[in-house]
Structure 1
Amino acid sequence: MIALIGAAIAPGIAIMSYFYLRDSFEPEPISMVIRSFIFGMLLVIPIMVLQYIMQNEWYWRDTIVAEVFQSAVVEEFFKWMVIFFTAYKHVEFDEPYDGIVYAVAVSLGFATLENLFYLIINGTNVAFWRALLPVSSHALFAVWMGYYLGKAKFTQSTQSQRFFLWISLMLPICLHAIYNAIFLAIQNWLLAIIPFMIFLWWQGMKKVQRAHEHGSKNLFSRPQ
Structure 2
Amino acid sequence: MTAPGTAADYGYDVDRTDPQAPGHLRPGAARRTRRRRPWVQLLVWGGAIAALILVAAGVWFFTIRPLGTGTALVAFTAALVPVSLVLAAVWWLDRYTPQPRITLVYSFVWGAAGSVALTFVIGGAVTWWITPQDAGENTANFLAAVVQAPLVEESMKSSGLIALLIWGRRFIGGPIDGVVYAMLIAGGFAFTENVLYFGRAFQQAQASGTVDAFWQTFLLRGLLSPFAHASFTSLCGLGLGIAAERRSLMLYFGLGVGGLSLGMCLHALWNGSTFFIEVDQAAPMSGFLRYYLAIQLPLFLLLAGIMTFLRLREKRIVRTQLSAYGRAGWFAPREVDMLVSIRARRRAEKWASAHGAVPRTAMHDLILASVDLAITRHGVLHGKPTAKTRERERELLERITADRRLIGALSRPVAPAAPAADG
**Shorter-chain TM-score tier:** 0.7 to 0.9
CA distance in 1, matches of 2:76, 2:247: 45
**Structure of larger gyration radius:** 2
Greater Cα shift, 42-51 or 72-81: 42-51
**AA matched with 1:105:** L
Aligned mate of 1:94, from 169, 173, 179: 173
Structure showing the higher helix proportion among its residues: 1
How many residues were matched structurally? Answer: 224
Please report how far the alpha carbon of residue 22 of structure 1 lies from its aligned counterpart in structure 2 after TM superposition.
2.4
**AA matched with 1:199:** P
2:291 aligns with: 192
1:85 aligns with: 163
Q: Deviations over 1:108-163 (max 9, x none)?
A: 11110011011111114322321134542111112322222211111244433332
Change (3 A) 1:162 1:213: farther
Q: Does residue 131 of structure 1 match 2:230? A: no
Structure 2: state its 5+ residue gaps.
Answer: 1-69, 203-213, 279-286, 322-376, 378-392, 398-423
Please report how far the alpha carbon of residue 215 of structure 1 lies from its aligned counterpart in structure 2 after TM superposition.
2.9
TM-score, structure 1 length as denominator?
Answer: 0.86
Q: Share of identical aligned residues, percent?
A: 24
2:238 aligns with: 147
1:76 aligns with: 154
Q: Does residue 44 of structure 1 match 2:106? A: no
- Alignment RMSD: 2.5
CA distance in 1, matches of 2:251, 2:257: 10
Contact 2:172 2:178 in 1 (8 A): yes
Q: Does residue 205 of structure 1 match 2:294? A: no
Which of the pair has the greater relative contact order for Cα pairs under 8 Å at 6+ separation?
1
Please report how far the alpha carbon of residue 28 of structure 1 lies from its aligned counterpart in structure 2 after TM superposition.
1.5
CA distance in 2, matches of 1:108, 1:192: 24
Q: Deviations over 1:4-56 (max 9, x none)?
A: 32111231132122222222431112332121011011221331233334445
Structure 1: state its 5+ residue gaps.
Answer: none
Q: Deviations over 1:171-212 (max 9, x none)?
A: 101111111121122223332223222122221122213322
CA distance in 2, matches of 1:205, 1:68: 24
TM-score, structure 2 length as denominator?
Answer: 0.48
CA distance in 2, matches of 1:113, 1:173: 19
CA distance in 2, matches of 1:49, 1:131: 26
CA distance in 1, matches of 2:120, 2:255: 28
1:183 aligns with: 274
CA distance in 2, matches of 1:106, 1:164: 19
